[in-house]
Amino acid sequence: MASSVLRGLALLWLRVGLTNALSMRESDPTLQQHEADTSIEPTNQAEHDRTEQRTAYNRQRDVEDAGEFERNRQIYHTAGQLLSGSQSMRHSRHILQFIMSHPHAPVLPHGGCLYLPNDKVWASFYTHVEHPVPTLFGEMIANSYYPGCNETSVSGLRIPTSCGPDSMRGSRGCFNVTSLGSSTGVEVFETHGHLGLPDKWAYHITHATHRHVQRSTAGSTWGSKCGHELPKVPKAQWLEIPTRYVVCRKSDDADTITEEHVREQNRWANEAFEGNSPWKRMDFDGDHPPSADMQIRFALVNITIVTDPECAKVGFSNTRLIHKYNQNAADFFTVVIITDDRSGVLGQTEFPHELAEDDPEHMVVVSSVGFRGWASRHNGDMMYDEGDTVVHEAGHGFGLYHTFEGSCSGGNGDFVDDTVAESLPHYDCVRDSSCGGSGNDPVHNFMDYSPDTCMVGFTEGQKRRAWCELQNHRATLYQKSLKTW
Ligand SMILES: [Zn+2]
């Protein structure tokens, strides 16, 4: 009974737009309780004066002079050092380190103020934006750096109005801004709201009708019948899942994803689920990272390419636009590809236990930017070129949480006991122990956000959870897929 009530609440929560959600929470004591349980706070975005035209800024890839390149890196280094003194700024520091090696990193003039959010703000952000496109962190830094500590950022944003000392005006009220110190002309500030949110994410957070919300805190399974005790998967069985792909393109001649590309992506996903994703050994690696054979295969049964500019553009933010392509949702595993994304999201998927079996929200939605081979064909960011975004999202579609779910609390927020807990996602393939334990953060796991070349496999626990979720919450699909040797 309790779990069905929670599930109902979770569904209700998903069904309402953010604005509605805010007013409902104020009037409904049960929802207040729900939010208190999960410690989710809506992202507070700085209210910028965005009326002026944005300024084009130089990116690291445009810098030819070695001295200028080195000066720019030094500014990033200095900012990183100032961040390293604060335990609540770990994720902003990770992002700064990630972006400083990226071609899209903005060139920062010597002398300025940099405003970055603390880890609590990031945790809130990740409840609104599943799998953000990390290239946009470059835009975020450009929005957050104010040369000469003046009023205008590198990208032309005007700093928000002050609400008094050390405080700025945001969409959900004033938030604090605290100086972490300055060094060689750079002053870094910790912000309790988002000062430099890129336009695409701001759009998504404001318009999304769908949210991918942390659900596993406080020991609750949030309606899932699969808790910590998970049965073994029988060796003699496997699941051959009827899988269909829908490509939403913006015009009849937009052919960035063809049927051939879909078949190649599906082949790659099958390799990954078999435990055969390649491993590029890092200097911190010991044994081969876990890479279980999930005993799950995607049987490609249909590819549909539709011309639907709305779906192609805002499918992530308004998933209802895609429902018409996901009829008979209980019988298929559906992957929808968004090819003209407005929302800055790489992929987004519902968990089986959150919806009725025939709910058309049961689908994996991915951006073409994260589709296998897209970046290499379009001179894009190679970080997600292999095709692991579909693998990661399919993991969610089988009930798997992120490895950073629930952060460090309890060490088992993803309901799998053989993944090391980590505080927040990783965009670099680095050694880290973000929760302070003895094990390395699971950057090689498909359910982190690391680059495709870093992602290697799923664990035995994740395999058991995926089978349990499918068996209990997608029973029709499970029965259709189950095979025995
Ligand atoms: Zn995810």
- Cα(124) to ligand 1 centroid in Å equals 15
pLDDT level of residue 17 (50, 70, 90 thresholds): very low
pLDDT at 260 over 90: yes
In sequence order, the 6+-apart residues with CB closer than 8 A to the CB of 341 are 133, 200, 313, 315, 316, 367, 368, 369
- Cα(344) to ligand 1 centroid in Å equals 14
- Cα(149) to ligand 1 centroid in Å equals 36
Q: For residues 224 and 50, which has the higher predicted lDDT (pLDDT)?
A: 224
- Cα(310) to ligand 1 centroid in Å equals 23
R_g of the chain, CA atoms, integer Å:
22
Per-residue model confidence (pLDDT) at position 205: 86
- Cα(130) to ligand 1 centroid in Å equals 6
- Cα(351) to ligand 1 centroid in Å equals 11
pLDDT at 37 over 90: no
Per-residue model confidence (pLDDT) at position 28: 31
- Cα(57) to ligand 1 centroid in Å equals 31
Asked whether the whole model's pTM tops 0.85, one would answer yes
- Cα(423) to ligand 1 centroid in Å equals 15
- Cα(108) to ligand 1 centroid in Å equals 31
Per-residue model confidence (pLDDT) at position 50: 61
- Cα(393) to ligand 1 centroid in Å equals 6
- Cα(402) to ligand 1 centroid in Å equals 6
Per-residue model confidence (pLDDT) at position 274: 98
pLDDT at 261 over 70: yes
- CA-to-CA separations, 404 to 214, 245, 383, 384, 435, in angstroms, rounded: 10, 28, 20, 19, 10
- Cα(370) to ligand 1 centroid in Å equals 13
Q: For residues 301 and 212, which has the higher predicted lDDT (pLDDT)?
A: 301
Q: For residues 439 and 303, which has the higher predicted lDDT (pLDDT)?
A: 303
pLDDT at 458 over 70: yes
- Cα(299) to ligand 1 centroid in Å equals 22
Cα torsion 401, 404, 410, 411: sign = positive
pLDDT at 268 over 90: yes
- Cα(240) to ligand 1 centroid in Å equals 23
- Cα(354) to ligand 1 centroid in Å equals 15
Rounded-to-integer distance, Cα 3 and Cα 346, Å = 31
- Cα(415) to ligand 1 centroid in Å equals 15
Cα 422–Cα 201–Cα 7 angle in degrees, nearest 5: 60
Rounded-to-integer distance, Cα 391 and Cα 386, Å = 10
Determine how many CB atoms are found less than 10 A away from the CB of residue 260.
10
Q: Is 354 helix (H, G, I), strand (E, B) or coil?
A: helix
Per-residue pLDDT of 140-155, as tens digits, reads: 999 999 999 999 999 9
Mean pLDDT over the full length of the chain? 87
Per-residue pLDDT of 395-430, as tens digits, reads: 999 999 999 988 887 547 888 989 999 988 999 999
Per-residue model confidence (pLDDT) at position 343: 94
- Cα(414) to ligand 1 centroid in Å equals 12
- Cα(390) to ligand 1 centroid in Å equals 10
Per-residue pLDDT of 170-226, as tens digits, reads: 888 899 999 999 999 999 999 999 999 999 998 898 888 655 444 444 445 668 889
Residue 347: φ, ψ to 5° = -170, 160
Per-residue pLDDT of 439-456, as tens digits, reads: 899 999 999 999 999 999
Cα 175–Cα 181–Cα 187 angle in degrees, nearest 5: 80
- Cα(291) to ligand 1 centroid in Å equals 18
Q: What is the mean pLDDT of residues 333-340?
A: 98
Neighbours of ion ligand 1 (CB under 5 A): 131
pLDDT at 364 over 60: yes
Per-residue model confidence (pLDDT) at position 45: 80
pLDDT level of residue 135 (50, 70, 90 thresholds): very high
Percentage of the chain surpassing pLDDT 90?
72
pLDDT at 116 over 70: yes
Per-residue model confidence (pLDDT) at position 220: 56
Contact indicator for 134, 454 with CB cutoff of 8 Å: no
- Cα(350) to ligand 1 centroid in Å equals 10
- Cα(403) to ligand 1 centroid in Å equals 9
Per-residue model confidence (pLDDT) at position 438: 76
What pairs with residue 244 in β-bridges?
302, 334
pLDDT level of residue 26 (50, 70, 90 thresholds): very low
Contact indicator for 260, 305 with CB cutoff of 8 Å: no
What pairs with residue 86 in β-bridges?
none
pLDDT level of residue 167 (50, 70, 90 thresholds): very high
Cα 379–Cα 383–Cα 385 angle in degrees, nearest 5: 65
pLDDT level of residue 276 (50, 70, 90 thresholds): very high
Q: What is the mean pLDDT of residues 295-307?
A: 98
Per-residue model confidence (pLDDT) at position 456: 97
pLDDT at 479 over 50: yes
- Cα(142) to ligand 1 centroid in Å equals 26
pLDDT at 5 over 70: no
Determine how many CB atoms are found less than 10 A away from the CB of residue 346.
26
- Cα(100) to ligand 1 centroid in Å equals 24
- Cα(20) to ligand 1 centroid in Å equals 25
Q: Which of 25-34, 100-109, 300-309 has the lowest mean pLDDT?
A: 25-34
Half-sphere exposure (Cβ direction) of 145: Cα atoms closer than 13 Å:
26
